[in-house]
Each structure stands twice: as structure tokens, then as C-alpha cells.
Chain A
Amino acid sequence: GEQVEQLPSSLIVQEGASVLINCSYTDSASVYFPWYKQEPGKRLQFIIDIRSNMERKQTQRLTLLFDKKTKHLSLHITATQPGDSAIYFCSASPSLGKLQFGTGTQVVVTP
């Protein structure tokens, strides 16, 4: 089945700096890739997604790049704020309604 890996597993950045999270998947059948943010005590929050017919998507401080050939995604967060501290999950959808989550990246933004 689909397997999703993320790197790094954790990182610490100073407020204002940028963050890059890498994600890779294995199943060519996956065509939809949403990313979620998890903060303690809060809902798993959708932040951005991309479909396999796109190479890039940008919303505010988030840029998501997708390379179908290498089965690789990367999420770039710019101008980080303390509120960006969370665990970020990449996911791949091998079939409708089903997500395979990555291993997560713990991001800590220090003031």
C-alpha cells in the first residue's frame, strides 16, 4: 500500500525564518495530497493541498511544490511566527476518502 515519508522529523527555527518540509510517497495511483497541521488540543487542521496535475500551489506564507516524476513534495513556510509551531503532516490519497499520512514534522518557532 501507499507509504508516505517526511523529513525532517523535527526542526527549530527562529521567528521570521523559513521552514522546508520534504515528503515522499510510493503509490503512483495517489493523485491528491493534502497537508495538515496539528496543535495540542486542537483539530487536525487542513492547510494546503495539491493535485498531481499541478506542480506548485501557493497560499499566503505557504508554498507547496510537487514532482510527479520523483514522487516528492515539499512545503515551504515563510516568515514563520510562534503560531506556526505544530506538527505538520503530509498525506497522500490512494483512493477517494482515504488518506495515508506521513510520519509528521514537529516545527518549533522560537521568538
Chain B
Amino acid sequence: GALVYQYPRRTICKSGTSMRMECQAVGFQATSVAWYRQSPQKTFELIALSTVNSAIKYEQNFTQEKFPISHPNLSFSSMTVLNAYLEDRGLYLCGARDQGLGERLFFGHGTKLSVL
């Protein structure tokens, strides 16, 4: 079946430092990858949508300078949170879609980011 793995599952970083998270698609081709942040109150924010061989589209309030994303092939994507501060805390979720399988997004467990 189609599965998405995210690494690390949890991470703690000091305020002002950066951390990188990875997203691996297994059993399908991640034609597009959407990165989300889920707040402690459980609301979701879309950070950016990445499609292989196309430009990455960032949502309002999110920038490439703060959340650089790499999507080099059909099985892998990574995102870095640069200069993390308290407001960057949350669960970062990767949702991947295979255009050959329709519109469904498959999600990983997420990377829980805590900032000290």
C-alpha cells in the first residue's frame, strides 16, 4: 500500500536554530507534496505545495526564506525550519499525492517540533 514516512518523529531545538525534516513516500510516486503545520489547538495551516518539476508555491505568511523545501524526486521531500522560534512549534505534516492514484493525499505521522 501507499505509505508516507516522516523523520524525525519528534525534535527539540533551541530558539534561533534550524531543523530539517524529511518525508519519504513508499509504494507510490509523490507527484506533489503538501507541507502543513498543525498547531497545538489542532488547526492546520498549509505551508507550501511542491510538485515535481514545478516551482514550489508558498502560502501567505510562509516563505522560502523561512521554510526552504526540497522535492528532488518522486519519493522524497524535505523541509527546513530556519531560525525556529516559539511560534514555529507544532506538528509538521507531509501529505503526498500520486497523480496516477487520483486526488487523495497520504500523510505521515508528522514531525513534532518543540522550541526551547
Contacts and interface: CB of A to CB of B under 8 A. Distances in A.
A42 B107 CA distance: 10
Interface of A: 32, 34, 36, 38, 41-46, 49, 87, 89, 93, 96-101, 103-104
Given A43-B4, A44-B93, A101 B44 contact: yes
Interface in B84-116: 93, 95, 97, 103-110
B107 A98 contact: no
A20 to B, nearest CB: 20
A98 B36 CA distance: 10
Interface of B: 4, 31-32, 34, 36, 42-44, 46, 49, 51, 93, 95, 97, 103-110
Q: Please report whether the interface of chain B is mostly helix, strand, loop or mixed according to DSSP.
A: strand
A109 to B, nearest CB: 18
Nearest to A45: B107
B42 A98 contact: no
A32 B102 CA distance: 11
A53 B99 CA distance: 20
A34 B105 contact: yes
Nearest to B44: A101
